[in-house]
Chain A
Amino acid sequence: MSAVETKVQEAKPLLSKKDRALLVDPLSDNNPITIQVLGICSALAVTTQLKPTMVMAISVMAVVVLSNFVVSLIRNLIPSRIRIIVQLTIISILVILVDQLLQAYVYDVSKQLSVFVGLIITNCIVMGRLEAFAMANKPGPSILDAIGNSAGYAWIILAVAFARELFGSGKLFGFQVIPDAFYEMGYVNNGLMLIPAGALFVIAIIIWIQRSINQKFEEA
């Protein structure tokens, strides 16, 4: 894998080392959910099935990327005293747009997600990236940072949804994957996975595995 990467860099460095870090860091070493522990609320609420989780991940990605881009463009025009309200206005506009799009094209999923689409506004990852990155960086890196962070968010909630849908209802994307023979032998779906408390355990296990691989610990 590294050989391929060095070749690409020799030919034409598509992304500088710094840009790559912006993209890759949030996937694991600086993951918004498992390391920074942001956006937990939606990770618990929308992850009972893979399909709505997927839609949620895409929606968050759209909002984070676009808001990072817009805020980064006008970052020098925003008076710092009222920057929060300006950022919130931008996020709200984008969230409303996403919500309307979902209602127009995937109405059933939109109903399933209910208020949680609107609550993207309060997702700490969105505000966090604006405050921490877009306000001080050019649009290009801001977009990369947004993609990295929202992808980090997306793979975690997809992993949680995978475990919850598999063990909670024996399905993946709505298709039954655990064979009927198992149920006849006495297997029963785990109801704990369907309640938000179950998602906390799944996230805890992911964090556990991740930290034992990374060997990075933050002790308070």
Chain B
Amino acid sequence: MKFLKDKILEFRPQFEKGGKYEKFHTVFDGFSTFLFTPDHVTHGGTHIKAGIDLKRTMFFVVIAMVPALLFGMYNVGHQHFISNGEFLGYGEGLIDKLIYGAIKVLPVVVVSYGVGLGIEFFIASKKGHAINEGFLVSGLLIPLVMPPAIPLWMVAVATAFAVIFAKEVFGGTGMNILNVALTARVFLFFAYPTFMSGDTVWIAEKADAYSGATALANSIAGSPGYSISDMMLGFIPGSVGETSKIAILIGAAFLVITGIGSWKIMLSVLMGAAFMGLVFNGLALNEFMQVPFYYHFLMGGLVFGAVFMATDPVTAAQTERGKWYYGFLIGLMAVMIRVFNPAYPEGIMLAILFGNVMAPLIDYFVVQANIKRRRLVRA
């Protein structure tokens, strides 16, 4: 480590203004501050004091996603082998399953980071500002919300689209209105629907005779078709990172303890979903409405979205009271979209994007209500 740091300090003058590699200053700065805590400090009035900068914050979120990623890799392998009638037990052929899953998932991670960071580096050096680390999280979120059988070029196109249209045109990290990873997913969902929905995409290279329908697709007929424990632990077909609720909750606990993810948003999304689920249970007009409300947490990406995507500090509501409304709205919409429109089974994706758009409005009304209340007190 000492050696690396010395090297960085040795090369730094060449990358600074007037140096030989001035053009690559942003790239150099990005890497060096990624490896070591930067030695520059804030000048002038400081209002927020924190030990971690944006890079460490983002890295904590990446750590929180690791359990979901590892389980996702195992599950990709597990689903592939059981569809072919091999290694039916959870523990059997563990290494084979992990290796198979890694072969399927890691290229998606590499493509997503490669394309996203490439665009980010290019724009940063063109505009001459520092490289922002926002993509560290998005780059790992994108593979986690993809079906295992997604072609790599589609991942590349979607990532490029999301980084350019959801982030860079709005001014880069911290300025985006929509969640970048979800924009990539929604782009694929509308551009290449046959690769993002249906029964064939959720298991990589599955045998034809085996039904690969997700719990959500099965629920249209009234029952998820998988046991509660399988759905909780994650041994079901689905997007890579969304299946295991346990792995996601470990990540959620990490985010809440470190204070990075907002527990208010996570909780209120679940409350909104439960409320809407209960309303549907009460109405019970069709089979899907009769599915018990708690199943909605176990199916699809609702929990994953609530923990990793709705809590995105840039696109979520900023006011503390607003976070409750924001989360509740997302949960409510997610279940509503699922049940009302079986063509869009993954309601949480559209619901979070809807919540992202509504977040500034929610904040505005919260702030206005506060102003009004204080005026009345004074009067």
Contacts and interface: CB of A to CB of B under 8 A. Distances in A.
Contacts of B36: none
Interface residues of B, number: 12
Interface of B: 151, 153-154, 165, 169, 187, 190-195
A84 interface: no
A195 B151 contact: no
Given A186-B151, A186-B153, A192 B165 contact: no
Contacts of B192: 188, 190-191
Contacts of B154: 188
Q: Which 3 A-B pairs give the minimum distances between C-beta atoms? A: A192-B191, A190-B191, A192-B190
A197 B190 contact: yes
A201 interface: yes
B238 to A, nearest CB: 22
Interface in A21-52: none
Contacts of A192: 187, 190-191
A188 B190 contact: no
Nearest to A192: B191
Interface in A168-188: 186, 188
A191 B188 CA distance: 9
Given A186-B153, A188-B195, A191-B192, 17 more contacts: A186-B151, A188-B154, A188-B192, A188-B194, A190-B191, A190-B192, A191-B190, A191-B191, A191-B193, A192-B187, A192-B190, A192-B191, A193-B191, A195-B190, A197-B190, A201-B165, A208-B169
20 contacts: A186-B151, A186-B153, A188-B154, A188-B192, A188-B194, A188-B195, A190-B191, A190-B192, A191-B190, A191-B191, A191-B192, A191-B193, A192-B187, A192-B190, A192-B191, A193-B191, A195-B190, A197-B190, A201-B165, A208-B169
Contacts of B165: 201
Interface in A200-218: 201, 208
Contacts of B153: 186
A164 to B, nearest CB: 12
Contacts of B151: 186
B196 to A, nearest CB: 10
A190 B192 CA distance: 6
Contacts of B195: 188
Contacts of B169: 208
Contacts of B194: 188
B201 to A, nearest CB: 13
A107 B345 CA distance: 39
A193 B193 CA distance: 12
Contacts of A190: 191-192
Nearest to B152: A186
A178 B219 CA distance: 39
A34 to B, nearest CB: 16
Contacts of B193: 191
For B190, B192, B193, the residue with the greatest tally of chain A CB atoms inside 10 Å of its CB is B190
A181 to B, nearest CB: 15
Contacts of B190: 191-192, 195, 197
Contacts of A197: 190
A201 to B, nearest CB: 7
Nearest to A187: B153
Nearest to A186: B151
A192 B183 CA distance: 13
Contacts of A195: 190
Nearest to A208: B169
Contacts of A193: 191
A58 B191 CA distance: 30
For A192, A195, A197, the residue with the greatest tally of chain B CB atoms inside 10 Å of its CB is A192
